[in-house]
């Protein structure tokens, strides 16, 4: 069983929204039709997006840190949005585990959006059907593209490689290794939805230096040197 998914590295995401714009560009130009933009150059611009980057502040000033948080459909292994759909438009593909909406069957009743705790689904105000991340199903299954291009648009666009893409059921895939070795976690695990997408936590590299590490305690010259120093340059100061 294949389960394609994204692994998003919060440690390197800089919140540039390149994944948002490339997602919109690719998917609004695709065979499934446009993703509406309402008032794009006006006071309250709104529209359909499959992917959004949100920003959270953790801690209290001055000890704060900013977390940029890209959010799209998590392609749950137990998708709660699928069984509630009355028409069968919302489905999970058996061959690669991607959760999709058949836009020709959707009646726009919004029940699946109610049944998604992540707010990953958005009703398109123009086409009046439910839309969501397809993991660029039309890219990744297009055999005419080169191997490198057969990835979701957001993954190709990310300048910091914060988005990894692959099969999370294959233990040796890049994504599985990243989840395993770098503490990958799921969002809202309390609901039992088993999201396929994972997030890698922020990690701070800290260097602890104790004072005795700054001087060479076993310097042999110090043992043999019988000079009495009065503040001038010592052998320790000499660069060799």
User: Can you give the binding site for another protein, defined by CB under 8 A?
Assistant: 17, 20, 39, 43-49, 52-60, 66-67, 69, 71, 80, 82-89, 105-111, 113-119, 121-123, 125, 127-129, 185-191, 199, 201-202
Query: Least Å distance between CB 40 and another protein?
Result: 9
Q: Whose Cβ is closer to another protein: residue 107's or residue 235's? A: 107
Give the helix/strand (H/E) hosting 137: helix 137-140
DSSP classification of residue 190? G
Burial of 52: CB neighbours in 10 Å, binned 0-12, 13-18, 19+: middle
Q: Whose Cβ is closer to another protein: residue 130's or residue 140's? A: 130
Query: Least Å distance between CB 184 and another protein?
Result: 10
Q: Note the residue count of the chain.
A: 240
Q: How far apart are CA 120 and CA 100, in angstroms?
A: 12
Query: Least Å distance between CB 176 and another protein?
Result: 18
E strands along the chain, which residues? 4-9, 37-38, 46-47, 51-58, 65-72, 90-92, 99-101, 122-123, 130-131, 163-167, 198-200
Q: Whose Cβ is closer to another protein: residue 105's or residue 216's? A: 105
Angle at alpha carbon of residue 220, lines to 215 and 221, rounded to 5°: 85
Question: 67 forms bridges with which residues in the sheet?
Answer: 56
DSSP classification of residue 185? B
The first and second tokens of residue 18, run together, are: 């390149």
**DSSP helix/strand/coil, 229:** coil
Query: Least Å distance between CB 105 and another protein?
Result: 6
Query: Least Å distance between CB 231 and another protein?
Result: 49
Query: Least Å distance between CB 175 and another protein?
Result: 17
With CA atoms as reference, report the closest residue to 108 among 119, 122, 123.
Answer: 123
The first and second tokens of residue 14, run together, are: 């800089």
**DSSP helix/strand/coil, 16:** coil
């Amino acid at each position: 069983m294949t389960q394609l998914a994204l692994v998003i590295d919060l440690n390197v995401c800089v919140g540039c929204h390149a994944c948002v714009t490339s997602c919109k560009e690719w998917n609004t130009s695709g065979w499934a039709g446009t993703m509406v933009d309402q008032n794009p150059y006006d006071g309250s611009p709104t529209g359909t997006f499959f992917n959004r980057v949100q920003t959270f502040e953790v801690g209290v000033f001055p000890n704060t840190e900013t977390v940029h948080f890209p959010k799209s459909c998590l392609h749950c292994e137990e998708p709660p949005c699928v069984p509630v759909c009355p028409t069968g438009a919302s489905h999970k593909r058996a061959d690669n585990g991607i959760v999709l909406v058949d836009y020709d069957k959707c009646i726009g009743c919004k029940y699946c959006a109610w049944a998604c705790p992540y707010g990953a689904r958005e009703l398109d105000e123009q086409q009046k059907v439910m839309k969501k991340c397809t993991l660029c199903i039309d890219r990744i299954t297009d055999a005419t593209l080169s191997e490198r291009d057969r990835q979701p648009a957001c993954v190709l666009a990310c300048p910091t490689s914060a988005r990894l893409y692959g099969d999370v059921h294959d233990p040796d895939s890049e994504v599985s290794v990243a989840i395993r070795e770098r503490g990958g976690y799921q969002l809202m695990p309390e609901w039992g939805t088993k999201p396929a997408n994972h997030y890698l936590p922020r990690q701070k590299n800290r260097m602890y230096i104790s004072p005795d590490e700054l001087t060479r305690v076993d310097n042999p010259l110090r043992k043999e040197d019988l000079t009495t120093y009065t503040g001038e340059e010592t052998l320790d100061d000499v660069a060799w």
